[in-house]
Amino acid sequence: MDNIQQKTAQTLLQQAEEVTIAGIKYQVPQPTLGTLILVSQEIAHIPMEELNREKTVGEAFQKATHGKHVARALALMILGASHPKPTLWKRFKEWLHPKERQIKRLTDKILHQMSIQEAGILFIQLLGKMQTTDFFMLITFLNEANLLKPTRKVSETTASGR
């Protein structure tokens, strides 16, 4: 397990983290806004409802169909969002292995080869590194800046249609 100094250095140097799924190692890049948006869109497919804690088994089976969205969100976190202007080499690689095909394959591996416990731990671990707090602070700042900006002035009241 990494110590706090190693994790801090990884974050500051924006180094990728390595995760292993079904025996294959993946380099998890630093999150981008694109990745955060894609993960958020995928999570939005999961209805947020109050769960009955007394009927956990029944609830688990009712919600199991949403597992594919959890797996796809994990795949998106691991592979990251596509970059809009890839280099010629990247375009050639993507032509051979498009991102969607990669995401589908990794989603299937997560769905069929990872235990629920492994997927849950990895999801929480990667979500913690998605810098959601920084994004929230940025949005809050921009919202406050917008609220402080004066709105247009109305000099006189006119009747409707004039």
Per-residue confidence of the chain (162 residues) as pLDDT tens digits?
457 777 667 666 667 788 899 899 998 887 777 788 888 899 898 887 777 778 777 777 777 788 888 899 999 989 887 766 667 776 777 677 777 778 888 888 887 777 778 888 888 888 888 777 887 888 888 787 776 666 666 565 556 655
Would you state the pLDDT for residue 3? 72
Residue 100 near residue 5, CB atoms below 8 Å: no
- At residue 81, the 3 state secondary structure works out as coil
CA distance 115 to 131: 26
SS3 at position 158: coil
Global pTM? Answer: 0.52
* Coil/strand/helix, residue 62: helix
Q: Tokens in use for 68?
A: 């594919």
DSSP letter string over 21-46? ETTEEEEEPPP-HHHHHHHHHHHTTS
